[in-house]
Structure 1
Amino acid sequence: RQLAQDLVMSADAGGGSSSAAAELCEDEDGVYFSSYGHYGIHEEMLKDKVRTESYRDFIYQNSHLFQDKVVLDVGCGTGILSMFAAKAGARKVIGVDQSEIIYQAMDIIRLNKLENVITLVKGRIEEVDLPLEKVDVIISEWMGYFLLFESMLDSVIYAKDKYLAEGGSVYPDICTISLIAVGDMNQHADKLLFWEDVYGFDMSCMKKAVIPEAVVEVLDPNTLISAACVIKHINCNTASTPDLEFSSYFTLTITRSTKCTAIAGYFDIFFEKNCHNKVLFSTGPQCTKTHWKQTVFLLEKPIPVEAG
């Protein structure tokens, strides 16, 4: 997770790629939650059909997991997951969010006449007092760029440890992080060689500053030059916060003789535990694009590689 926090930056919703300084501000949580008070980011997430329809399909196609159950939605945003759970037959749904969007969510809940089932609580899950002691199911859309950038999984784990009843479940339950090699000299030139001649001035010293920053963008599948390699597997029902600090050795099997210019990261999400109809989605470069895109770590100098 620290690698992701150090390297990844928020993406411009309207652009193909973005980058920002790796250093996080002291009031990291305040900035994070403040950003989710703006409506544009929620529109972007709701319009991400891969994301939203996967959650919808999991909940509606596995309604036995929600029927007459008490559900906690961590980071509820506009309340879309809470409403899915209510429609699937949940007896009670508690949605928690610290950002200002929760006031709009309250209106949305009332507009859809679900206020008798759904209760919304403003605040951090670590600080609020919930109107119950235990819940049967925890749902959350906590994932950030490269899975762990936004650090919301810490809050889900806290909620699990404090509120989840014995025999209860957290969804999504399985997440994996993968890496894949990229060979794209055009991208490399655009991001790095650019600094060698900027309107006639040599700014090549900027390369050292640019390299530690990751780039969030949608990759062209034709630039992939290796098989993917899973470097982290997280079971959200058993994970603890220390599990999110990790290092991993990995090997990439090259599929095309060329030059490797970057390593890209993405994640896959699985809804499996006790499901009659399992659901998964991927943020990989060979799948339908999502608002998470892929996270690209440029190499300072391209590395010649041979297939195999």
Structure 2
Amino acid sequence: MSGPEDVAAAELALKGMAHSEQHYFNSYNHHGIHEEMLKDEVRTKSYMNAIVQNKHLFKDKVVLDVGCGTAILSMFAAKAGAKHVIGVDMSTIIFKAREIVEKNGLSDKITLIQGKMEEIELPFPKVDIIISEWMGYFLLYESMLDTVLYARDRYLNKDGLIFPDKATIFMCGIEDGDYKDEKIGFWDNVYGFDYTPLKHTALSEPLVDTVEVKAAVTDPTSILTLDLYKCTVEDLAFNIPFKLTARRDDFVHALVAWFDIDFTACHVPIRFSTGPHTKYTHWKQTVFYFRDVLTLQQGEEVQCNLEVRPNDKNRRDLDIKIQYQLDTPDSVRNAKGECEYKMC
């Protein structure tokens, strides 16, 4: 068990970190964020099923839980028959997690270490399985994927498994005129004053919200698939062309992005999606508004390009650039533009 001096030492270590890192780890000290994640049934049940339904993979294995939070995944792994589970988390929620593990009679099976994955020593030289819930909004915003990749390269056995092991980002075009007016057009006239300087700010901040599936004007397209056995930190900065095909005659005000997660090592592969077509998750979707409105006819294609890279000052923030071009026989509807966004 840990005493008050352990918590104090951990809080002191957090204070010594860069402000952006402090903010990130401190946000996970609040029970509210863990309540939201645990109540997200799509997320938590997918992990539970991936682990508990695959006891043959976990039996007598050493498991590493990267960013363990309240240790729910660690406890699933212990229940699935793991020889030992090591959970690692920088935030001080881990001290509560130790109490939870003890309450559930699993202290002999689970060791929880407070600290940065890159700076601690594990009690085992290698592990057989890495489990982690590392995904952020738009998959990569404030994500812990680079930490998972570090743990993979440093600790995972050659034939070890990763849960989950595949992530795919999707995008489609949506009709969202009313909400765009409410969120963006609002700044044109605020009690009789011109607030358009804030309109530019509003356009540059992606909106994390739920989108109704009926808003989709184009077919969805997969943009990027990350294979966690092979991908590198360098792959988290990318520049990818793609095209969107209109399903019907309509207007496109924005692109919406979401991601799917796969556990391919399972006996029966498990997948969950965070898209508008499926059950709510706490990740919702990410909306990128255009300055222009595109007027599309069924079957027409919009050529797009998505550039994403971690921010130079804070790697957990993202700099995003979207280019779009619509060429049609009707020159009045032709459109071309480039929008830059910051997720911070």
Is the aligned partner of 1:294 residue 2:291? no
* 1:262 counterpart letter in structure 2: A
Aligned to 1:161: 153
1:284 to 275, 289, 293: 275
Which residue of the other structure, out of 211, 222, 232, is the alignment partner of 1:240? 232
How far off its partner does 1:69 sit?
0.2
| 1:115 matched to 2:100 | no
1:305 pairs with 2:304: no
* Contact 1:214–1:298 (CA under 8 A) maintained in structure 2: yes
In the alignment, the residues of structure 1 paired with residue 296 and residue 236 of structure 2 have an alpha-carbon distance, to the nearest angstrom, of: 31
Superposed CA deviations along residues 27-65 of structure 1, whole A, max 9, x for unmatched, are 222211110011100000000000000000011111111
Q: What is the distance in 2 between the residues matched to 1:293 and 1:30?
A: 25
1:47, 1:208 → 2: CA distance? 36
Of 182, 197, 206 in structure 1, the residue corresponding to residue 189 of structure 2 is: 197
Q: Is 2:147 the partner of 1:152? A: no
In the alignment, the residues of structure 1 paired with residue 57 and residue 135 of structure 2 have an alpha-carbon distance, to the nearest angstrom, of: 22
Structure 1 counterpart of 2:11: none
Correspondence list, 1:27-38, <5 A: 27-38=19-30
Q: Counterpart of 1:151 in 2: which secondary structure?
A: coil
Which structure would you say has the larger RCO, counting Cα contacts within 8 Å and 6 or more residues apart? 1
Instruction: Please report the RMSD computed on the Cα atoms of aligned residues, expressed in angstroms.
Output: 1.1
Residue 99 of structure 1 is matched in structure 2 by 91
- Matches of 1:34 and 1:229, distance apart in 2: 36
- Distance in 2 (alpha carbons) for counterparts of 1:297 and 1:79: 34
Partner amino acid, structure 2, of 1:84: F
Give the Cα–Cα distance (whole angstroms) in 1 for the partners of residues 112 and 135 of structure 2: 21
**Identical-pair percentage:** 49
Is the 1:215–1:296 contact (alpha carbons within 8 Å) kept by the matching residues of 2?
yes
Q: Read off the aligned partner of 2:297 and give its amino acid letter.
A: E
**CA shift for structure 1 position 26:** 5.7
For residues 172-251 of structure 1, the aligned pairs below 5 Å read 172-251=164-243
Matched residue of 1:285: which SS? coil
Between the aligned partners of 1:182 and 1:79, the Cα distance in structure 2 is 38
**Structure with the higher strand share, 1 or 2:** 2
- Are positions 1:135 and 2:127 aligned together? yes
**Which amino acid counterpart does residue 107 of structure 1 have in structure 2?**
E
Q: Distance in 2 between matches of 1:166 and 1:195?
A: 55
Cα deviations by residue, 1:177-220 (Å, 9 ceiling, x for unpaired): 01111111101111111111111111123222211100000001
Asked if structure 2 preserves the Cα contact closer than 8 Å seen for 1:171 and 1:236, the reply is no
Measured after TM superposition, the shift of residue 300 of structure 1 is 1.1
Shift of 1:128: 0.9
Aligned mates of 1:285, 1:43 — CA distance in 2:
22
Q: How far apart are residue 301 of structure 1 and its match? A: 2.0
Secondary structure of the residue that 2:33 maps to in structure 1?
helix
- Counterpart Cα distance in 2 of 1:35 and 1:111: 25
Which amino acid is 2:171 matched to? L
Question: Which one has a bigger Cα radius of gyration?
Answer: 2
For structure 1, which runs of at least 5 residues remain unmatched after alignment? 1-24
Distance in 2 (alpha carbons) for counterparts of 1:82 and 1:209: 41
Mapped partners of 1:33, 1:307: distance in 2: 46
**Which has the higher mean CA deviation after the structures are superposed, 106-115 or 179-188?**
179-188
Relative to the length of structure 2, the TM-score reads: 0.81
Aligned amino acid, residue 193 of structure 1 = G
Partner of 1:52: 44
SS of the equivalent of 1:120 reads strand
| Aligned partner (choices 231, 245, 251) of residue 253 of structure 1 | 245
**Alignment partners' CA distance in 2, 1:290 and 1:51:** 7
Residues 173 and 270 in structure 1, CA contact (< 8 A), matched pair in contact too: yes
Secondary structure, aligned partner of 1:302:
strand
The 8 Å contact of residues 125 and 159 in structure 1, kept in 2 or not, is answered as: yes
Deviation string for 1:260-307 (max 9, x for gaps)? Answer: 00001100000012x212110000001001000000001112111111
CA distance in 1, matches of 2:140, 2:189: 36
What is the TM-score when the length of structure 1 is the normalising length? 0.90
